[in-house]
Amino acid sequence: MKFSNVGGQAVLEGVMMKNKNQYAVAVRKPDQKIEIQTGEFHSVIPGEGIQKIPLLRGVVNFLDSMILGVKTLSWSGTFFEEEEEPEEEGKSKKEAETGHLKRETKAGSETKTASKTKDTSETVLMIGTVLLSLAMAIFLFMFLPYAAMEVCRRWISSEWILATIEGVTKLLIFFLYLFLISLMKDIQRVFMYHGAEHKCINCIEHGMDLTVENVKKASRYHKRCGTSFLFFVIFISIIVFIFVHVQTRWLRFLVRILMIPVIAGISYEVIRLAGRSDSRCSLLLSKPGMQLQKLTTREPDEDMIEVGIASVEAVFDWKSFVEEVRNEENT
Domain layout of the chain by residue ranges: 6-76+101-330
Q: Say if residue 218's pLDDT is above 60.
A: yes
If one compares 28 and 246, the residue with the highest pLDDT of the two is: 28
CA Rg value for the chain: 23
Residue type, 317: D
If one compares 275 and 217, the residue with the highest pLDDT of the two is: 217
Task: Name the percent of the chain in helix, strand, coil, to the closest 5.
Answer: 70, 10, 25
Q: Say if residue 88's pLDDT is above 60.
A: no
- Per the document, the length of the chain is 331
In this prediction, residues 234-246 reach a mean pLDDT of 87
- What single DSSP character describes residue 297? -
Question: How big is the CA angle at 175 (ends 171 and 178), to the nearest 5 degrees?
Answer: 140
Calpha distance 275→150 (Å, rounded): 37
116 confidence band (pLDDT: 50, 70, 90): low
Q: Say if residue 212's pLDDT is above 70.
A: yes
Question: How big is the CA angle at 280 (ends 277 and 282), to the nearest 5 degrees?
Answer: 45
Residues with Cβ < 8 Å from 65, sequence gap 6 or more?
A: 9, 226
Calpha distance 155→164 (Å, rounded): 15
**What's the mean pLDDT when you consider all of the chain?**
85
Query: What is the percent of the chain with per-residue pLDDT over 90, rounded to a whole number?
Result: 46
User: What pLDDT is recorded for position 6?
Assistant: 93
Q: Say if residue 99's pLDDT is above 70.
A: no
Classify residue 327 as exposed, middle or buried by CB count within 10 Å of its CB (0-12, 13-18, 19+): exposed
In this prediction, residues 273-299 reach a mean pLDDT of 87
120 confidence band (pLDDT: 50, 70, 90): low
Calpha distance 104→307 (Å, rounded): 37
Q: Say if residue 209's pLDDT is above 80.
A: yes
Helix 56-77 / helix 260-275 crossing angle, nearest 10 deg: 80
103 confidence band (pLDDT: 50, 70, 90): very low
Classify residue 305 as exposed, middle or buried by CB count within 10 Å of its CB (0-12, 13-18, 19+): buried
How many CA atoms lie within 13 Å of 69's alpha carbon, on the beta-carbon side?
A: 15
In this prediction, residues 114-131 reach a mean pLDDT of 64
User: What pLDDT is recorded for position 123?
Assistant: 65
Calpha distance 298→283 (Å, rounded): 21
Judged by phi (left if over 0) then psi (alpha if -120 to 50, else beta), residue 297 lies in beta
> Alpha carbon 180 to chain centroid distance?
18
> Alpha carbon 202 to chain centroid distance?
17
CB 80 within 8 A of CB 12: yes
- Straight-line distance from the first to the last Cα atom of the chain, in angstroms, rounded to the nearest whole number: 14
136 confidence band (pLDDT: 50, 70, 90): confident
What is the model's pTM? 0.84
Residue 299: count of CB within 10 angstroms of its CB: 13
